[in-house]
Amino acid sequence: MATALIAAACTGAGEPRASERGNAAAVAGADDRARITGAGSTFAGSLIAEWITAYGRLAPGVDIRYEGTGSPGGVQSLVRGEVDFAVSDVPLSDDDVEALTDRGPPTQIPWVAGAIAIHYNLPGVEDLKLSPEVLAGIFSGRVSRWDDPLLRADNRDSALPGTEIQVVHRSDPSGTTQVLGEFLQSSAGPSWPLGVAPTLNWPGGIGARGSDGVAASVKRTVGAIGYADLASTEQSGLGVASVRNADGRFVPPTAETVGAALDVATLDEETLTFRLYFGPGVPRAYPISTFSYLVFRPGSVDAGEERALRHFAAWALSEGQRMAPIVGYAVVPLLFAIKALDRVQGFEDPDQARSPS
């Protein structure tokens, strides 16, 4: 059933369209009455906000509140029982799983896919190209001016100014920061000295909270560069860089190039988490692409609230995917969406809905 319903939501090219599956999920939740709270990823926040608005018209008795606190903050709020679900750009750690496994293992599914866009404020420069090594040099402070020879070598058609580079980074613990670090450590090697973590020991620059805060700071500062979800970047009107992938191509972030990258992610069947692939062989792939995961604890809220959350998740994985490219995200690859839907199905029976996933 899951295969047929999810497949109906997409064309063969992966572009979403109206489907019986999405309508069925919406009708199934139309009579729900529940208040659901969530927190976490600001990277996924723009799409989640659109989902909440759209789903509210289909299930008016379901009040969904979401706060973008950053991925680690959302997970910790779920551990403390302050929210009903969390959204994280990185999979749960073993310690997080242990802390959440009080009534059975937590459910963790990929439901948002998108690009970590590198945005910049350089008037007159419309097609900035960045290699992983140069990007690592910029964020680690070794490349400090826009007319550095390393930058000019990849941007011969652009008149790069002698302006000082102002790095804007996340000041709060962030899954987006961790994914960026994973990419740079894998792709830039020794050029990236800052490691991989939700919070990095930045050598300087401007700190800002949340993806939208980073975008706003870059917009206010000529010569600035930062990183955020593509939706926040596009809303700010900033320039968006093309990043060199492992095939040597400079690729911009789009729904199609993110989809190409995530199609070759490696799936862990048990945890439904993915290892990103930064190697060659996918010339159309935008290399800094990622999933965000929905996380909740089966049985931790009453049956009606859990049923409403599962209905919302199923809708987001199907009909809700139609909205992703409109607001700067990609469609979750079909195989992954099918497996994620299987993990949240069974909610028609309250007892089944409360059983561990």
Q: Which residues, other chains included, contact 283 with Cβ-Cβ below 8 Å and sequence gap of 6+?
A: 245, 247, 249
Query: Given CA atoms 295, 300, 301, 306 in this order, what sign does their dihedral have?
Result: positive
Q: Buried (b) or exposed (e) across 194-230, using 16+ Cβ within 10 A?
A: bebebebebeebbebbbbbbbbbbbbeeebbbbbbbb
**pLDDT given for residue 198 in this prediction:** 96
What six digits make up the tokens of 83? 């929210």
As a whole number of angstroms, the distance between CA 57 and CA 146 comes to 47
Q: For residue 179, is pLDDT > 80?
A: yes
Q: Is pTM beyond 0.85 here?
A: yes
Q: 254-286, pLDDT tens digit by residue? A: 999 999 999 998 888 888 888 888 899 999 999
**pLDDT given for residue 27 in this prediction:** 52
Helix (H) or strand (E) holding 217: helix 210-220
Please provide the average confidence, as pLDDT, over all residues in the chain. Answer: 89
| 299-304 mean pLDDT | 84
**pLDDT given for residue 236 in this prediction:** 86
* pLDDT band, residue 155 (cuts 50/70/90): very high
**pLDDT given for residue 168 in this prediction:** 98
Strands 129-130 and 224-229: unpaired
φ, ψ of residue 142 to 5 degrees: the values are -80, -30
* pLDDT band, residue 335 (cuts 50/70/90): confident
**Lowest-confidence region among 118-122, 150-154, 191-195, 277-281:** 277-281
Cβ pair 225, 138 in contact under 8 A? yes
Q: For residue 342, is pLDDT > 80?
A: yes
**pLDDT given for residue 17 in this prediction:** 38
| 330-353 mean pLDDT | 76
Beta strand extents in the chain (DSSP E only): 34-40, 62-68, 85-88, 107-120, 129-130, 166-170, 206-208, 224-229, 239-240, 242-244, 250-251, 266-268, 273-275, 289-296
* pLDDT band, residue 18 (cuts 50/70/90): very low
As a whole number of angstroms, the distance between CA 250 and CA 335 comes to 27
**pLDDT given for residue 16 in this prediction:** 37
**Lowest-confidence region among 10-19, 157-166, 200-209, 341-350:** 10-19
The angle, 0 to 180 degrees and rounded to 10, between the axes of the packed helices 132-139 and 175-188 is: 130
Strands 107-120 and 289-296: antiparallel
Q: For residue 54, is pLDDT > 70?
A: yes
**pLDDT given for residue 346 in this prediction:** 54
